[in-house]
Chains A and B, each alone.
Chain A
Amino acid sequence: QKEVEQNSGPLSVPEGAIASLNCTYSDRGSQSFFWYRQYSGKSPELIMFIYSNGDKEDGRFTAQLNKASQYVSLLIRDSQPSDSATYLCAVTNFGNEKLTFGTGTRLTIIP
């Protein structure tokens, strides 16, 4: 079982709709959860991070964490064509700085 799993997609969402990206992790000791966006040929850009159960909102983005279910998601509201990218979920464990990345979900926003 992979440590961090994501649906590879592609996920197609109409412009203006909500895009929902999901990530599950296997290690219950995981402490910090990150969502990165990566455009083709570029390095990842941090969208947001979350540490505590519940929702965290930042502009059009909302991260949701459920530690009991070992599940973290990212919602993108009012999707724009510029949101088309690969979204990477990453996790760190207690006492360990290493980021473990999921395989990423490729998102396409259809104008």
Chain B
Amino acid sequence: GAVVSQHPSWVICKSGTSVKIECRSLDFQATTMFWYRQFPKQSLMLMATSNEGSKATYEQGVEKDKFLINHASLTLSTLTVTSAHPEDSSFYICSASSSNYGYTFGSGTRLTVV
């Protein structure tokens, strides 16, 4: 079946630094990548949608200059949290969409900003 590899699985960073999260589709081409954020005891909230080779579309209220998304190829998308602050601490999850496999979720990244 389809697998999306997401790294790192957890990261602790200092306030003000940047963190990059990577999602790679291992055995299929992801035409679209979705990035979600999930706070404790809450549901998944869509942050942005990205298509290979084009700019990401951000949901209302999500700062595009803070959450940089790059989807340079059909198998790799990255989310960079710039100048992270404690309120950015959350569980970040990517999901790849393809015509053959539907939606495939990465394993998630637990970000803690101290």
- Given contacts A88-B43, A97-B32, whether A43 and B105 have CB atoms under 8 Å apart is yes
B29 CB to closest chain A CB (Å) equals 15
B62 CB to closest chain A CB (Å) equals 13
- Given contacts A43-B108, A46-B103, whether A103 and B42 have CB atoms under 8 Å apart is yes
- Given contacts A98-B49, A99-B34, whether A43 and B107 have CB atoms under 8 Å apart is yes
- Is the C-beta of B11 less than 8 angstroms from some C-beta in chain A? no
- Is the C-beta of B46 less than 8 angstroms from some C-beta in chain A? yes
- The interface residues of chain A lying within 8 Å CB-to-CB of B106 are 43
- Is the C-beta of A61 less than 8 angstroms from some C-beta in chain B? no
B40 CB to closest chain A CB (Å) equals 10
Quick check: B46 and A98 within 8 Å, CB to CB? yes
Quick check: B44 and A88 within 8 Å, CB to CB? yes
- The interface residues of chain A lying within 8 Å CB-to-CB of B32 are 97
- The interface residues of chain B lying within 8 Å CB-to-CB of A99 are 34, 46, 95, 103
The number of A-B residue pairs with CB atoms under 8 Å apart is 40
A56 CB to closest chain B CB (Å) equals 15
- Is the C-beta of B110 less than 8 angstroms from some C-beta in chain A? yes
Quick check: A42 and B44 within 8 Å, CB to CB? no
Quick check: B102 and A43 within 8 Å, CB to CB? no
- Is the C-beta of A54 less than 8 angstroms from some C-beta in chain B? no
Question: Which single residue of chain A is at the shortest CB-CB distance from B59?
Answer: A98
By a beta-carbon cutoff of 8 Å, the part of chain A in contact with chain B is 34, 41-46, 49, 88, 97-104
Identify 12 residue pairs between A and B in the complex whose beta-carbon atoms are under 8 Å apart, listed by A's number: A34-B103, A41-B108, A43-B6, A43-B93, A43-B105, A44-B44, A45-B105, A46-B102, A99-B46, A99-B103, A101-B45, A103-B43
